[in-house]
Amino acid sequence: MTRIDPHRFSIAPMLDWTDRHERYFLRLLTRHALLYTEMVTTGALLHGDRARHLDFSREEHPVALQLGGSEPDDMARCAELAQQWGYDEVNINVGCPSDRVQSGSFGACLMAEPERVAACVKSMQAACDIPVTVKSRIGIDEHDSEAFLQRFVDTVAEAGCDTFIVHARIAILAGLSPKENRDVPPLKYERVHRLKERHPELKISINGGLKTLAACQAQLDKVDGVMMGREAYQNPYILASVDQDIFGSIEAVPARQEVMKKYLAYVADQLASGTALQHMTRHILGLYKGQPGGRLFRRHLSENAHRKGASISVLEDAVALAEAAIERQQQADAENMVTPAEQSTQLQTGVQHA
């Protein structure tokens, strides 16, 4: 049986977005894509509520923990925790450009210190048996060259890391917000492609600006894997075709209603354990994006899920509104459809009247 490599398609770690509820929901859309946690700092794990940061549902596998930190000993202790909690991978964040992250001496600023990242990799690999991977940019600030990226990857790979997820933009550490850093620096996919050409022995995934599965498939001719970020969150149903289009699965694409039936069961369990409804509905607002009932679905959840005591009926009603709108549109389309026989009759009538 051919082993499926989940790195072929992964969903980016996104702060405030890829929490455990979002990951459970995404797993209902794709069985094979690799999921990532939000970035968690070493300080939060070593001195905070570990269960809050690390707990996840077994259905989420394969799932990776992304760490923010730069002290090898702390990173090693957290890698050990990742393995103990059952994560499939631990990833080092060397790509986040925010001021808050820089003040903690981790994130994209670490690209200027490849030796420190290499030391973290060595310590982490000594502390755990799960893969240790790195997510980075192609450069930072004035260090916008292939030579800079090459030196970073060479140094970290020599320490034992064989998997790199590269956002194909530089990070501008002063002057741009994290949001601007996701859009303003130009994408340079070719630089990542050439990195893979120079390192056939490494697993290289590409990230940045990927909004369609067709665009992802085109990248897979050049690199080993693709990582999708905001589009997967804002238009999640795109992921329903990932298993077929990217991984070659022969299983049927799940319908939105089927996905929601399973998510409703999860939501019911979480509500019973004290989780507020809005923490689970905020992630799914885009499920019906582009569909006749998309706005109704989004508005109903936005207006009602946050209310005190909001129950699962809010979500059930939102689904019912969306599905009813879709059914009305389908009926209207069917009524307006002209059959081949009718087309032939219309053509003949037109010829006779000509």
Label residues 312-341 b or e (16+ Cβ within 10 Å = b): bebbeebbbbbbebbeeeeeeeeeeeeeee
Question: CATH number, domain at 97?
Answer: 3.20.20.70
Residue 65's H or E segment, with its range, is strand 63-68
Q: Are residues 197 and 131 in the same domain?
A: yes
Tell me if 170 is assigned to some domain: yes
Is 78 among the catalytic positions?
Answer: no
Q: How many whole angstroms separate alpha carbon 95 and alpha carbon 138? A: 9
Tell me if 343 is assigned to some domain: no
For residue 140, give its domain range: 6-245
The overall average pLDDT reported for the chain is 94
Asked if residues 39 and 69 have their Cβ atoms less than 8 Å apart, the reply is: no
- Compute φ and ψ for 309, nearest 5 degrees: 80, 10
207 is in an annotated binding site: yes
> Which residue in the list 96, 109, 128, 161 is annotated as catalytic?
96
Average pLDDT value for residue range 266-275: 97
Tell me if 19 is assigned to some domain: yes
Predicted pLDDT at 98 = 72
Average pLDDT value for residue range 25-33: 99
Residue 57 has pLDDT above 80, yes or no: yes
Residue 238 amino acid letter: I
Residue 277 or residue 106, greater confidence:
277
Tell me if 168 is assigned to some domain: yes
Q: Where among 182, 215, 245 does a domain terminate?
A: 245
Q: How far is Cα of residue 180 from the mean position of the Cα atoms in its chain?
A: 19
Cis peptide before 62 (omega within 30 of 0): yes
Residue 206 has pLDDT above 50, yes or no: yes
167 is in an annotated binding site: yes
114 is in an annotated binding site: no
Tell me if 13 is assigned to some domain: yes
135 is in an annotated binding site: yes
Predicted pLDDT at 181 = 84
Q: Are residues 35 and 56 in the same domain?
A: yes
Question: CATH number, domain at 261?
Answer: 1.20.120.1460
Residue 291 or residue 344, greater confidence:
291
CA geometry: angle at 82 spanning 81 and 88, to 5°?
A: 155
111 is in an annotated binding site: no
Q: Are residues 167 and 23 in the same domain?
A: yes
Counting the structural domains of the chain, the total is: 2
Pairing mode, strands 89-94 and 203-207: unpaired
CA geometry: angle at 350 spanning 344 and 354, to 5°?
A: 150
Tell me if 138 is assigned to some domain: yes
Average pLDDT value for residue range 20-35: 99
Q: How many whole angstroms separate alpha carbon 41 and alpha carbon 307? A: 32
Predicted pLDDT at 8 = 98
Tell me if 348 is assigned to some domain: no
Residue 35 has pLDDT above 70, yes or no: yes
Bridge partners, 135 (sequence order): 93, 165
- Compute φ and ψ for 79, nearest 5 degrees: -65, -40
15 is in an annotated binding site: yes
Query: Would you place residue 97 in the very low, low, confident or very high pLDDT band (cuts 50, 70, 90)?
Result: confident
Q: Are residues 285 and 149 in the same domain?
A: no
Q: Angle, nearest 10°, between helix axes 114-127 and 72-85?
A: 40
287 is in an annotated binding site: no
Residue 103 has pLDDT above 70, yes or no: no
